[in-house]
Amino acid sequence: MSSFPLRDAVECVGRDGLPNCFAKLEAGAAVTVAYFGGSITSQTGWRVQSLERLRRRYPNVSFSEVDAAIGGTGSNLGVFRLGHDVSRHKPDLLFVEFAVNDSGEAPEAVMKSMEGIVRQTWRHLPSCDICFVYTLTEQLLPDLRQGKFPRANSVMEMIADHYGVPSVHLGLEVVRLEMAGKLAMTVPGADMTRVSGTELDQDAPLRVGSDGKIPFAADGVHPYNDTGHRLYTEALERSWPKLKAASGTPVPHPLPPPLDAKNLEEAKMLPLSPSWLSGAWTDLPDRLDFGKRIPALWKGAPGAELSFRFKGSTALLYDLMGHDCGTLELVVDGESSRPLRIDGYCTYRRLATLVLAKGLEPRETHTVRIKVLGDKLDKGEILFERNLGDLKANPEKYVEHNWYVGALLLLGELVD
């Protein structure tokens, strides 16, 4: 798949539609909508606007939202966190938006994780309808200007064809306006503040800058609510009748044979077991405001150790990178490394994944041991220059060298 053929860019492909969702909407039953994606979905943009449009379209329906978007993440993490972040809430409709963050991944990897998301969803929630949603960045414009989907989108379209999943590209009108000279992709500092709610007024004109162009985003990626995100929302609104027309009789979704037998359908997130821990660990019940994302959070001080055994091909730990973190000693099947849990961005803590092993022999038993080291790091050498001011102003933030870990992401099974 290294030279994966690009698909023709189409705003909406209805395929098998959203039959179970539309049946509930027409019956006036309660509907739960899940939004699964990266930072573009995490913004209070098309996600919030589209749900409000649904409420206006179906005033007698009670809607619930599952915000399962995490900035900077793609389907390779999504397939592991699907159960915790999405499936346990039992949505009726699942929007999946990972094409932008998957754009740098190999087609084979996108295939495995995105197919895994579809198969895992329908194995546990066969009546949940799925819709692939595509957004864009300035970097992805060259293919779209030629009328072609970028590579990640094209892989996803192949999966969508196989499973009958409808897809909507929210940004093709953005591309048309940009090519016509009516929209600028990157406009830092544009004044896009409106009175709350007016971005939902379909009759309100889109804001334009002093150059007469619609400012799409400050960075070419994350749209302004009143322009870029509103264009995204209107694309989904235009597609709604087509999605409805494609929807037949409501039935549980069947699972045909997979496109890739090695897809990540079996990927899962497991909470850490206290039996794996020894030394200076503290259970953090408040999970440092990450409680929505992780089933538990443990803080390990220098000297704390974590160890477990598993059979499988892939293991990662869902942890935090942060200003008060340090160095680990990681030993997998006798092979040692020293990963850092702080990087140039770390004036704050953020969710991350620590890769333990990939591509292992799944039938063998593998042993993992991790120790939190007390090595004193020169964090001024690690932080980006633009972040050194925070270190100087708040040196106490950076003194400790801990590790925060919340869950195991596993393709395999634990061994006692």
Does the residue 261 lie in any domain?
A: no
Query: Does 79 lie in the same domain as 215?
Result: yes
User: Tell me, what CATH number does 122's domain have?
Assistant: 3.40.50.1110
Query: Does 219 lie in the same domain as 313?
Result: no
| 194 pLDDT higher than 60 | no
CA angle 348, 354, 356 (to 5 degrees): 165
Structural domain of 398:
268-415
Number of compact structural domains in the chain? 2
| 193 pLDDT higher than 70 | no
Query: Does 283 lie in the same domain as 176?
Result: no
Query: Does 324 lie in the same domain as 236?
Result: no
Query: Does 364 lie in the same domain as 233?
Result: no
Q: What is the pLDDT of residues 20-76, one digit of tens each?
A: 999 999 999 999 999 999 999 999 999 999 999 999 999 999 999 999 999 989 999
Query: Does 316 lie in the same domain as 394?
Result: yes
Of the three residues 213, 245, 277, the one that is the final residue of a domain is 245
CA angle 193, 194, 195 (to 5 degrees): 135
Name the pLDDT band for 3 (thresholds 50, 70, 90). Answer: confident
The CA-based dihedral angle spanning residues 356, 314, 121, 408, taken in that order and rounded to the nearest 10 degrees: -30
Q: What is the pLDDT of residues 303-330, one digit of tens each?
A: 999 999 999 999 999 999 999 999 999 9
Does the residue 251 lie in any domain?
A: no
- 119/230 Cα distance (integer angstroms): 31
Does the residue 222 lie in any domain?
A: yes
Query: Does 289 lie in the same domain as 218?
Result: no
**Mean pLDDT score of the chain:** 94
Name the pLDDT band for 2 (thresholds 50, 70, 90). Answer: very low
Distances in whole angstroms, Cα of residue 243 to Cα of each of 53, 121, 217, 229: 15, 20, 28, 20
Q: Give me the helix-helix angle, 46-57 and 230-245, nearest 10°.
A: 50
Query: Does 285 lie in the same domain as 230?
Result: no
Does the residue 259 lie in any domain?
A: no
Query: Does 411 lie in the same domain as 275?
Result: yes
Does the residue 262 lie in any domain?
A: no
pTM assigned to the model: 0.91
- 410/82 Cα distance (integer angstroms): 13
Does the residue 6 lie in any domain?
A: no
| 289 pLDDT higher than 90 | no
Query: Does 276 lie in the same domain as 208?
Result: no
What's the confidence (pLDDT) of residue 203?
Answer: 56
Query: Does 288 lie in the same domain as 232?
Result: no
What is residue 314's three-state secondary structure?
Answer: strand
Query: Does 277 lie in the same domain as 199?
Result: no
- 26/295 Cα distance (integer angstroms): 36
Does the residue 4 lie in any domain?
A: no
Mean pLDDT, residues 253-282 taken together? 96
